[in-house]
Amino acid sequence: MPGLRVAEYPSTLSIDSEAVIRENFEKMTFNQVIEALTEPVKESGGRQENISEGTFEEMEGTFEEINEFFYKRNLTDGLPIIPPTIERVEEFLRYTDRSPHEEIAILLPGNLRATPSIIAANGVMAGCRPEHMPILIAAVEAIADPDYDLEQIGTTYGLNPFLLINGPIIKQLGIEHGVGLISRGPNPAIGRALGMIIRNIAGFRPGEQRMGTFGYILPFVLAEDEEGSPWGPFHVGRGFDRNTSTVTAGGTVNWGGQVFPSGTDPEGLLKIICREIVRNVGLRTQSLPMGLTKMAMCTVIINPSVAQGIARGGYSKKDAEQYLFENSRVTIREISFEFKYGNPLGGSQTIRSLAATEGASLKEWKECADLEDQPDVTVPAMGYPGLTHIVVCGDRVRNKAMVFYTCYNRPTTKEIKLPANWGKLIR
C-alpha cells in the first residue's frame, strides 16, 4: 500500500508502566494518529520493481559490480552471490519438466508468483547446483501450503525455517545426513536458496517484514539417516512410499543446546530427552495461547545410536513420540512465574484465562482453572499429542539429541517431482 502512514509508539509496551504508556501516547503517538487521519496523502513513488515479478533487468559488469547491483536492491542476504546469468538459469531449468513461467505458487505476504525461472535464479544466487532444482520447487510448494503458515515467519520470535529431505535423492545428490550435516555438502547452499526465495519471492526482508528481534541464522537443511535408523523414515510416517523422495518444510525458534542421552536403559534415554523438551518447549508453549493450538511443532533430532538404544526397548517411533508427549511436563509454579515475568501481556495472562481459550483442548488444560492453587501439579509441555516428531540423523558414533520448537508452523511434506530424464541427467 504505497503512502500507508503509521503512528508509532516510541518504547516497549510490555515493559513500560501505565503512566509512561499514557505519557508516550499523549506526547507522540496520538498526535501522529490525528495527523495521519487529517492531513492530505502525499504523492508516493509507487512500487519498486522486484526481480520476483517475472521481469529481468539485463546488465553487464564485473563480479563485484553485479554483486553491488543486487546488494543495493536488497536482493541478497549480505553475502556474495553467484550472478544469475541466463545461461545458468537455463541449465537449472533442464532439471524440471515444468514450464519456465508456470506458476508453482503465490507466496505470501508478497503475493508474488514463484515460477521455475525465478526459483532457479534464486538457486543460482545461493550457490546451488542445477540438480538441486527439483528440491527447490518442492520446497516452494511446501512453504506455500496454508498448513505451513509462511506469513508467521515475520514474528519477532526469530523463527528460522528449515528443510528435511527423505528418500532416494539423498544418495543420488549426496545430501548430508551424518556428522556436521547442516554444514557439509550441498546442504548449506540449498538452505541458503530457501532463504533467498523467502526474501525475494515471499517478500520477507529482515528489519522490514521479518522482524526477528535478534535476527536469524541461515535456513538449514537436514537429511534423515534412513539406513542408520531402526525405524521407518519420516516421510513414510506421513503417507509417502519409502522410494519416493520428499522435502518437509519446518521451523524452529531455537538452535544450539544438546543433551547427551546415556546408558543402556531405553526409558532413561527417553526421559532425558523429555527434560530437554521441557527446557526448550514447555514454558514457551504455555506462555502464549497459540502454544496450546495445533499450530506448533516440536522436532527432536537424535543420533542413530540413541535411536537404536530406544528401539532395543521395544519402542516404535510412534511409541517413542507418544512417550515424549506424555512425560514432558511442566509445573503450574513454573508456568505462573513465566506468566508474571516472561509473558508479552505483562502478567495479565493467567492460568485461568489460558485454560478458557479455544486452544486449551487438552482435558488437563480445560480442567485446570483452579490449578493456580496447586503449584506442584504438572501439565503437558506440548498442547496436543502428535506435535512431536523424531528425526534420526547426525554422527553415528555420538549420543546426542536436540529439540527444535515453534508455535507458528506445522511440518509440511511435498513430493520431489523429478524430470522424466532424471537418471540420464544425474549420470
For 158-167, 286-295, 372-381, which range has the lowest pLDDT when averaged over its residues?
A: 286-295
Grouping H, G, I as helix, E, B as strand and the rest as coil, residue 275 is: helix
- Which among 61, 62, 132 is positioned nearest to 95, based on CA atoms? 132
What is the sign, positive or negative, of the torsion defined by CA atoms of 300, 306, 308, 314? negative
Q: Do 251 and 318 reside in the same domain of the chain?
A: yes
C-alpha cell of 406?
A: 515453534
What is the sign, positive or negative, of the torsion defined by CA atoms of 52, 127, 104, 100? positive
Q: 267: how many CB neighbours lie within 10 A of its CB?
A: 12
Report residue 179's pLDDT band, with 50, 70 and 90 as the boundaries: very high
Q: Do 262 and 341 reside in the same domain of the chain?
A: no
Q: Do 367 and 265 reside in the same domain of the chain?
A: no
Provide the number of structural domains found in the chain: 3
DSSP 340-373: HHS-TTTT---HHHHHTSTT--SHHHHT-TTGGG
Q: Do 258 and 339 reside in the same domain of the chain?
A: no
Q: Do 321 and 338 reside in the same domain of the chain?
A: no
In this model, does residue 96 exceed pLDDT 60? yes
Q: What is the pLDDT of residues 268-296, one digit of tens each?
A: 999 999 999 988 876 665 545 555 567 78
Report residue 257's pLDDT band, with 50, 70 and 90 as the boundaries: confident
- Whole domain around residue 374: which residue ranges? 331-380
Q: 198: how many CB neighbours lie within 10 A of its CB?
A: 25
Q: Do 134 and 257 reside in the same domain of the chain?
A: yes
Question: Rounded to two decimals, what is the model's pTM?
Answer: 0.89
Q: Do 230 and 301 reside in the same domain of the chain?
A: yes
pLDDT of residue 104: 97
Q: Do 85 and 30 reside in the same domain of the chain?
A: no
- If phi > 0 it is left, if psi is from -120 to 50 it is alpha, else beta; for residue 41 that is beta
β-pair partners for 300: 390, 403
Sequence-ordered strand ranges (E) for 101-219 = 105-107, 112-114, 160-166
Q: Do 91 and 220 reside in the same domain of the chain?
A: yes
Q: Do 213 and 278 reside in the same domain of the chain?
A: yes
Grouping H, G, I as helix, E, B as strand and the rest as coil, residue 220 is: strand
Q: Do 199 and 338 reside in the same domain of the chain?
A: no
**CA–CA separation, 140 and 121 (whole Å):** 14
Give the contacts of 45 (CB within 8 A, at least 6 positions apart): 2
Task: Indicate the residue among 29, 45, 61 that finishes a domain.
Answer: 45
Phi–psi pair at 329, nearest 5 degrees: -130, 150
Q: Which residue has the higher pLDDT, 76 or 333?
A: 76
